[in-house]
Amino acid sequence: MARVYLSPPHIAGREAELVAEAIESNWIAPLGPHVDAFEAEVAEVAGVENAVALSSGTAALHLALVVLGIGGGDEVACSSFTFSASANPIVYAGATPVFVDADAATWTMDPALLERALAERPAIRAAIAVDLYGQCCDYDSIRALCAERRVTLIQDSTESLGALYGDEPSGGQGDLAAFSFNGNKLITTSGGGMLVSRNAEWIEHARKLSTQAREIAPHYEHTEIGFNYRLSNLLAAVGRAQLAVLADRVAARRRINRRYRELLAGAPGISFMPEAGYGESNCWLTCITVDPAEAGTDRERIRLALETEDIESRPLWKPMHLQPVFAGAPAYGGEMSARLFERGLCLPSGSALTGADQRRVVDVLLATRD
């Protein structure tokens, strides 16, 4: 039986055709018509006007901080319950991360803790709120807190393309938002990202910075430090084919999530990531928590049993305030994400996962019980 992966790429169908077209037209230099079209298409899907295609979501978050002029002496509030790539760019920029715990209702940034951090730390100039596992943050609350303190809101929507906040698509809630097209996301360019915003000036500045900050001149003239962060036209061709089926991919992931809930409905001690009432998650990964006292099994027993059956699963993110590399960084709260890390598991959630494989995942999981 083939290995079941957590979230493998899912080919849409037209990737090879669009890449071949790019090669035939000789647009294999970094920029080109597929990059321009991909930017316009992603901006439309995110409900914003401006977008710049980049080499990764990490690069998008980094450039967001650079265009805001964040640097030494500044602090940036950041969700603690996330992947390290949300926080690393704060350090690249020379600023200090201030970690904010998740709340129980959504597993995303707790607005009450953000409020405390903002009240106590005047050095905070921006906040990176992470749309976790495909679910948007509580932006009505977070946006109001940031506006009150004139703190710029950066939305880490790398996991939430295609999700909804109210009836708005994910990506328009922050002042700037980052997407990722890494191989494990709903759609992929094999590696890539995008920075989007309603603010055209920021995006044009990011575009310039991403191509080595070249000034308009016949020779290479530079007045600021640049980066080599652009997405290639070949990868944008893959992205366009993938983006065309985004709605199907969201529907498939949500269906898989619903089915896990049905199959595990009677199992005591197993709970699912709550879906916030204010939006609709893209269900990038289906996440459970296991209470050992009630479940008669635990997270690690389940993970190892799945691995023995060649099924990939993964503990929930280890929060940033517990990561050795961020030891000493200020943190607000922390118990919630620590408990989620201890008890939580991401189940195979790829949009091509078959019903039979999903059944197998559940059978292996249930068989670990005493």
Residue ranges that bind ligand PLP, judged by CB under 6 A: 56-58, 82-83, 85-86, 130, 156, 158-159, 180, 182, 193
Which residue bears the tokens 């078959």?
A: 354
Nearer to ligand PLP, 158 or 349 (CB): 158
How near is the Cβ of 132 to ligand PLP at its closest, in Å?
Answer: 7
* Short-list 248, 318, 314, CA closest to 287: 314
Cβ proximity to ligand PLP: between 149 and 185 the closer is: 185
CB of 184 to ligand PLP, least distance (A): 7
Cα dihedral 223, 229, 232, 233 sign:
negative
**Whole-angstrom distance, CA of residue 195 vs CA of residue 262:** 37
**How many angstroms separate the CA atoms of 137 and 106, rounded?**
8
Residue 19 or 78 having the CB closest to ligand PLP: 78
Q: Which is nearer to ligand PLP, 27 or 181 (CB)?
A: 181
Q: Coil, strand, or helix at residue 233?
A: helix
Q: How far is the CB of 131 from ligand PLP (least distance, A)?
A: 8
Pick between residue 50 and residue 108 the one whose CB is nearest to ligand PLP.
108
Q: 56 vs 368, which CB is nearer to ligand PLP?
A: 56
Stretch (H or E) spanning 261: helix 246-263
- Rounded least distance, CB 191 to ligand PLP, Å: 7
Q: Which residue is nearest to ligand PLP (CB)?
A: 57
Residues ≥6 apart with Cβ < 8 Å to 186 = 134, 161, 162, 246, 249, 250, 253, 282, 284, 351
d(CA 86, CA 124): 16
Choice between 130 and 177, CB closer to ligand PLP: 130
Give the CA count within 13 Å in the CB-facing half-sphere of 360.
20
Beta strands per DSSP E along the chain: 50-54, 75-79, 96-100, 124-130, 152-156, 164-165, 168-169, 176-180, 193-197, 270-272, 279-280, 286-290, 314-315, 331-332, 344-347
Measured from the CB atom, the residue of 85 and 117 that comes closer to ligand PLP is 85
| CB of 138 or CB of 149, closer to ligand PLP | 138
CB of 65 to ligand PLP, least distance (A): 13
φ/ψ (deg, to 5) at 22: -65, -40
| Three-class DSSP labels, 92-108 | HCCCEEEEECECCCCCC
Per-residue b/e over 118-127, b at no fewer than 16 CB within 10 Å? beeeeebbbb
Q: Which residue has the tokens 């990964």?
A: 285
CB of 134 to ligand PLP, least distance (A): 10
Q: Which residues fall within 8 angstroms of residue 236, CB to CB, at 6 or more apart?
A: 32, 34, 35, 37, 38, 53, 189, 192
Minimal distance, residue 159 CB to ligand PLP, in Å: 5
Rounded least distance, CB 219 to ligand PLP, Å? 32
Q: Output the CA torsion 359→360→366→369 (10° steps).
A: 180
Residue 57 CB, shortest distance to ligand PLP, in Å, is 3
The least CB distance from residue 60 to ligand PLP, in Å, is 8
**Closer to ligand PLP by Cβ: residue 115 or 156:** 156
